[in-house]
């Protein structure tokens, strides 16, 4: 059996409900869980290095406050809670650029704890999984995340950023060419890049996903809801690729789509 975890990044208080419904109803109706990496308290002025507004703010209005906690959108929260196929995963705090690429331990701990509180205040269970914005974590952030979470999902791991005590386990992982590993009680998951992305070749996207799924026992499949609605317009071709992926996953007898929470105690590598 092979396992797939679907991770959609950047759900926040400004995310339109109809966008999520359009993308993921075929998954939910087939019993395929979708992990929504959710920003607890999104800043509405976040930009990418070139100065453009972040894509996940595409529905921002000029009247929106500087920070919007997820609980400030009760309609979105009600929708997410009414659909148990969604698993809400802790994704950063404000989602500022490289906000967890910091060695200020007090600030890192405050962001993690305040973010967890905001998600729970909105009515979601405490997440056992953390996703860092832009896949960037400092050595200090890795230590603090490992204290609080059973699963860390990120793109890759760099030796120079790891706590020194983790180096032997990392060397063992590298020697065995394993994409995923464990330190203490925390599972550390890497992913093969954003395979479902508007920046990839549409013609070969589904086949690329299938090759990656076939090459490992556990694949974290990452995408971003806002890429399907750039400038507020649906990219029908890209949405069709996502839905074709759902169909293939549901039809495959040797693949099981699971939520992150099943990995907290499961022996899936």
Residue 134: domain span: 9-192
In a domain, 125, yes or no: yes
In a domain, 218, yes or no: no
pLDDT at res. 104: 97
Q: Is the pLDDT of residue 144 over 90?
A: yes
Which residue is listed with tokens 């699963």?
A: 151
pLDDT category of residue 49 using cuts at 50, 70 and 90 = confident
Chain segment 91-139, per-residue pLDDT in tens: 999 999 889 999 999 999 999 999 999 999 999 999 999 999 999 999 9
In a domain, 157, yes or no: yes
Gap between the Cα atoms of 44 and 258, Å rounded:
32
pLDDT at res. 167: 97
Mean of all residue pLDDT scores within the chain? 96
In a domain, 155, yes or no: yes
- CA dihedral sign of residues 157, 69, 102, 52: positive
Q: What percent of the chain has pLDDT over 70?
A: 98
Q: pTM for this one? A: 0.96
Q: Is the pLDDT of residue 266 over 80?
A: no
In a domain, 226, yes or no: no
pLDDT at res. 74: 98
Q: Is the pLDDT of residue 264 over 90?
A: no
For residue 61, the domain's CATH number is: 3.20.20
Gap between the Cα atoms of 121 and 126, Å rounded:
10
Q: Which of 11, 6, 75 is nearest to 41 (CA)?
A: 11
In a domain, 106, yes or no: yes
For the chain, the domain total comes to 1
Backbone Cα Rg of the chain: 18
pLDDT category of residue 176 using cuts at 50, 70 and 90 = very high
In a domain, 267, yes or no: no
Q: What percent of the chain has pLDDT over 90?
A: 94
Concatenating the DSSP letter of every residue in 70-124 gives GGG-HHHHHHHHH-TTEEEEEE-SS--TTTTS---HHHHHHHHHHHHHHHHHTTP
Gap between the Cα atoms of 80 and 135, Å rounded:
24
In a domain, 234, yes or no: no
Gap between the Cα atoms of 122 and 72, Å rounded:
8
Q: What residues contact residue 82 under an 8 Å CB cut-off, 6+ apart? A: none
């Amino acid at each position: 059996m092979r396992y797939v975890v679907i991770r959609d990044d950047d759900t926040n208080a400004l995310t339109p409900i109809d966008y999520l419904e359009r993308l993921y109803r075929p998954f939910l109706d087939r019993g395929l869980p979708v992990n929504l990496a959710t920003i607890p308290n999104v800043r509405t002025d976040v930009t990418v290095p070139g100065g453009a507004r972040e894509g996940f703010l595409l529905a921002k209005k000029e009247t929106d406050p500087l920070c919007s906690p997820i609980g400030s959108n009760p309609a979105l929260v009600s929708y997410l809670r009414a659909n148990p196929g969604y698993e809400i995963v802790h994704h950063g705090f404000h989602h500022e650029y490289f906000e967890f690429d910091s060695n200020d331990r007090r600030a890192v701990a405050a962001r993690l704890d305040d973010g967890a509180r905001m998600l729970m205040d909105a009515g979601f269970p405490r997440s056992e999984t953390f996703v860092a914005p832009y896949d960037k974590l400092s050595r200090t952030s890795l230590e603090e995340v490992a204290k609080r979470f059973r699963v860390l999902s990120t793109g890759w791991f760099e030796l120079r950023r790891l706590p020194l005590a983790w180096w032997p386990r990392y060397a063992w992982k590298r020697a065995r060419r394993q994409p995923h590993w464990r330190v203490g009680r925390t599972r550390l998951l890497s992913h093969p890049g954003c395979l479902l992305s508007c920046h990839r070749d549409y013609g070969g996207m589904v086949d690329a996903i299938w090759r990656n799924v076939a090459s490992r026992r556990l694949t974290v499949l990452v995408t971003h809801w806002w890429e399907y609605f750039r400038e507020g317009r649906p990219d029908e071709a890209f949405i069709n690729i996502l839905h074709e992926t759902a169909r293939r996953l549901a039809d495959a007898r040797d693949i099981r789509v699971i939520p992150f929470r099943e990995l907290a105690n499961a022996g899936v590598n």
